[in-house]
Chains A and B, each alone.
Chain A
Amino acid sequence: MSQAKVPTWVNIALIPVLNIMLAFLVSGLVILAIGENPIEAAGYLIYGAFGYDEGIGYTLYYATNLIFTGLAVSVAFKGGLFNIGGEGQAYIGGLGVGLICLSLDHTMPLYVIAPLAVIGAAVFGAAWAYIPAYLQARRGSHIVITTIMFNFIASSLMVYLIVNWLKEDGRMAPNSRTFEESAWLPYLHELLSPLGIEIGDSPLNLAFIWALLCCVFVWGLIWHTRWGYQLRTLGTNPTAARYAGIDTAKVTIWAMLISGGLAGFVGLNEIMGVNHNLLLNFTAGYGFAGIAVALMGRNHPIGIILAAILFGALYQGGAELAFEIPTITPEIVVVIQGLVILFSGALEHMFKDRIEGFFIRRAVA
C-alpha cells in the first residue's frame, strides 16, 4: 500500500496564498461597489502597513497581540481542545499585569517589575482558563461553551473592578491611574536609538521580543518534550492516549493553563507596553482573531508569526486606507478583515480537497 503524497509546499504555501488572493479579489469587488479604485486602495493598504518605519512598527505591535492569542489557540488545539476564551483570558491576564504595576511602580525598578508582570499575566490568564479546563476534564462540560461564557464573565468582572476599585479618584474615565515610568515596558525605538539604529516612533515594545521567545518555547514544548508528545497523542488519537496510560484529564488541564497563560501576555503588550494604565476593553477582539491566526498558521509557531503579521498589516494598513480614502470607512476595513478570515479559515477546504486531488492524481500518473 503506497499512498500518494501531496508536496508539503502545497499545504503550507500554495493553499494559504490562494485563499488570501481570493479574499482580496472579493474585497476588490466590494471596493468597486462603493465606487473606489481597488488597485489604489490596495496600494494605500500595503503602504500603510509596510511602507515606512512607523507603519511597520504599528503592524508588528498589532501582530504581537495576535501571536500571543494565536499560540494560545494552537496549544489547546494540539490537545484537541477548542479554546474560544482567549479574549477573556487576555483580559484577566491584563488585570494581573495591572495589579503588579499599580502596587510596585512607586518602589521597584523595571527589571523587578517586568518579570513579575510576566508571571502575573501568565498566572491570571491561566487561572481564568483553569475553571473551564477543570469542568471539561473532570465534569465533561464542553470547553467551547464554558470558554465563551467566561469571556462574558471576564468582561463584566473587569468593569466592576475598574469602576468600583481601581478607578482613579476624582476622575470620570473608567481606568486606573497611569503607572510610573518604572512600570513601562521600553519601546523598541527607544531601545534601538542608543545603538545608532533609528526607527520611527511606534507602540512596538519589548513585548514583541517576548512574543517571539514564546514561539520558540511553544515549538520546543510541543515537538520536543514528553508533555508535548502526550498532548499531541491526546489531540490526534484519544484512544491511543488511554492505551499509552496518559492521564488525559491532567494533560487537558495543563494544556488549557498554558493556553490561558499565553493569552494573558496580551496584557503585557497593551497595559504595560502601550496604555500604561488598566482600562476597559483593551483586548479589542484579539482573542477571537487569534483563532483565525492559529487556523491560518496551521497551528505552527512559524505559521502563526506569518499569519499574525498579515493580520497586523490589515489592522494597520486598514486604518491608513480609511484615513486616505474617506468613503472607505473603518467598517469596510472590517469587512476586508472578515473576508480574509472567512476565506483562510472557514472556507479552508474549498480549494484544499481539489488541489490535493490534483497533486495526488499527478503523482500517481
Chain B
Amino acid sequence: MPYAIELRDISKRFGAVQANKDICLQVPAGTIHGIIGENGAGKSTLMSIIYGFYEADTGHIEVDGKRVDIRSSQDAINAGIGMVHQHFMLVENFSVLENVILGAEGGAVLKNGIGQARVELQRLAHEYSLDIDVDAIVEELPVGLQQRVEILKALYRGARILILDEPTGVLTPQEADHLFRILKALKDQGVTVLLITHKLREIMASTDNVSVMRQGEMVAHRETAHTSKEDLAELMVGKKVRLTVDKDEAQPSEVLLSAQNLSQFDSQGVKRLKNVSLELRAGEILGIAGVSGNGQSELLNVLSGITPMDEGEIHFAGQVITAKAPKNAAQMRDLKMAHVPEDRHKMGLVTGFEAYEAAVLGYHNSPVYNGKILMNRKVMLDECNERMAAWDVRPPNPHLKTANFSGGNQQKIVIAREVEQNPEVLLIGQPTRGVDIGAIENIHEQIVKLRDSGKAILLVSVELDEIMALSDRIIVMFDGAVVGELDAKDADERTLGLMMANAFNEEQEGVSA
C-alpha cells in the first residue's frame, strides 16, 4: 500500500541557512505521525514546503504514491492536504460558516454556497464529532473551538492529510486533551495526521510514529510504542562532538545577583515566566538547561532589563528592581551587567552597520566613544581593530558590514563587545549557536576566564553538552518555571533530559500543558 505522503530528499536553503537538508519521510495512511524537534530545527519550513508556501530547492513530494507538484496552497488543497496553522488564519468577525467557505464560496452569489456548506458542515461535524455552532462569530469562540473551525475548514476542502503546527501551544490542558480525542476520531475515519510539536508528552500520548528533526535534518524515525521520552529528548538535543573545557573547580563567593519569584505575562496574558527564583554568585557559571521555548528567553530579557517583569524582584548591585521600579537595558548596563543575546541577528547586532559601529551597540553613550558633539570614530575604529586582533575575528576589517561576517565571527564581535566591558555579571544566551568548532573552543575559554576573574555568568543554552561542559551549577527550566537544580558534577544527559521533558514528576501531576 502506498504511503499517504512521502517526501524524497527535500532540501531548502535561505541564504546561508540550510533550513532543510535531504529530508525523507514516509507516512502510512490513517496514522498519526509526530514530527518533533527544537525551535529552529526546520519543522515549520518543511511543513510550509508541503503546504506550498515555499518551494523546495530539490526533492519532491508524493501523495498516495503519485508525484505531486505543489507550488501554492491551492495545489496542496487539491492534493488533499490541509493545514492548521499555529496562528489561526481566521477572519475573526465572520461566522464559523463564512470562515469555512472562504475561498470556496461556490459562485458569485453566496446564498447557494452557504446552503450547501451548512449541510456539508453538519455531516462533517457529525462524522468526526466536531460539534460547533456554525452561526457563531469566530472571535466570540474560545481558542479550542477556533482551532476546531480550522480543522473543519481543512476537512471541508476535502483534506485527507491534515497537518497541525504546534496545535497545543495556545490551548489549555483540557482543550489539548479534547484535541487529541478529535485527532483519534479523524484517524479512525482514515485521515492521516501530521503533528508538529516540541512537546514530548504529546508525541508519546497520541502518535503512532515519530520522526525527529535537528538542525534541518531528519535524524531518526521511531515507532512511538518502541521509544521513550529520554530517547527522543536525546535525539532532539543531539550529541555533538564531545566538548571538553579545561577549568578548575569553581570558587563561588558572594551573591552578585538574586531574583525572587520573577513572573512575566505575554501580550495574550499567558504566563511565560513562572515564579523563577535564582542566585548568581561571583566566580561561578550557572547553566540554564531546557528545551528552547520554555521561558529561558523571557528570563534573559527580564534580567537584562529589555522587557519589564510583571511580578517579583531582582537584587543587583545594591539596587532592588521590581515591576514598579524597573530599570531598562541601558541602566542595567550602567550597573555593569552585560548581555550576549540568544539571537544575534534579531537583537545583538544591526546587520546593516559596519563592524565598528555594531561593536559599540549598547555602549554608544559611553564617554569613551563620544566627543563633545560627534562620535569619536577614530577611537571606535582603533578599538575595533584591537579587538578583532585579540579575538581573531576574520576578516579583520572594521568597515565590513556585520551581515557579511560568518556566524562565528559575528558572535565573536558580540561577545568581545560585552566581555571587554569587564562586567560584574554576564548573561549569555546560546553562545555557540551556529558557530564553528574552532570558534566554540575559543568562546568557551573566554567564558571560563571571565569566571576565574571573579565574575558571575548566567549561561542559557539548548546544547546539553555545552551546559554540562561549562556550568558549575545547573538549573532546568520547563514551561516557564524552574523544575530542578543540581550540581554540575551530578548531572548526566539522562537526568537532565528527563528534567527537561518534565518527566520526573509528570505521573503525579497527570495532565500538564
Contacts and interface: CB of A to CB of B under 8 A. Distances in A.
Contacts of A246: 330
B330 A245 contact: yes
B374 A243 contact: no
A225 B306 contact: no
B109 interface: no
A239 to B, nearest CB: 5
Interface stretch (A113-121, A137-145, A159-167, A226-234): A226-234
Interface string A206-226: 000000000000001000111
A353 to B, nearest CB: 15
A243 B339 contact: yes
A1 B16 contact: yes
A244 B375 contact: no
A97 B244 CA distance: 71
Interface string B370-385: 1001110100000000
Contacts of B364: 226, 229-230, 244
A237 interface: yes
A245 B370 contact: no
Contacts of A243: 304, 306, 329, 339, 341, 347-348, 361-362
A247 B468 CA distance: 38
Contact of A245 (B332, B406, B407): B332
Which of B331, B349, B361, B370 has the largest count of A CB atoms less than 10 A from its CB? B361
A360 B510 CA distance: 57
Interface of A: 1-3, 5, 220, 224-226, 229-230, 232-233, 236-237, 239-240, 242-247
B352 A244 contact: no
A219 to B, nearest CB: 11
A245 B375 contact: no
A220 B332 CA distance: 30
Contact of A244 (B346, B362, B370, B373): B362
Contacts of B347: 237, 239-240, 243
Nearest to A245: B330
Interface in B324-371: 328-333, 339, 341, 346-353, 357, 360-362, 364-365, 369-370
Contacts of A3: 16, 403-404
B377 A232 contact: no
Contacts of B353: 232-233, 236
Interface string B296-313: 000000001110000000
Contacts of B304: 243
Interface string B390-422: 000000000000011011000000000000000
Interface of B: 16, 304-306, 328-333, 339, 341, 346-353, 357, 360-362, 364-365, 369-370, 373-375, 377, 403-404, 406-407
A90 B347 CA distance: 37
Contacts of A225: 373-375
Nearest to A234: B350
B215 to A, nearest CB: 16
Contacts of A2: 404
B305 A245 contact: yes
Given A3-B404, A229-B357, A229-B375, A245 B333 contact: yes
A126 B347 CA distance: 31
A100 B6 CA distance: 77
B407 A1 contact: yes
Which of A1, A3, A5, A224 has the largest count of B CB atoms less than 10 A from its CB? A1
Contacts of B329: 242-245
Contacts of A247: 328, 330
Which of A2, A230, A237 has the largest count of B CB atoms less than 10 A from its CB? A237
Contacts of B349: 237, 240
Contacts of A237: 346-347, 349-352
A47 to B, nearest CB: 42
A17 to B, nearest CB: 24
A324 B361 CA distance: 58
Nearest to A246: B330
A244 B330 contact: yes
A4 B333 CA distance: 37
Contacts of A230: 364
A360 to B, nearest CB: 12
A230 B329 CA distance: 14
A245 B363 CA distance: 9
B330 A226 contact: no
Contacts of B365: 226
Contact of B406 (A1, A224, A232, A244): A1
Contacts of A244: 329-330, 361-362, 364
Given A236-B352, A244-B361, 7 more contacts: A224-B374, A224-B377, A226-B364, A226-B370, A226-B375, A243-B348, A245-B362
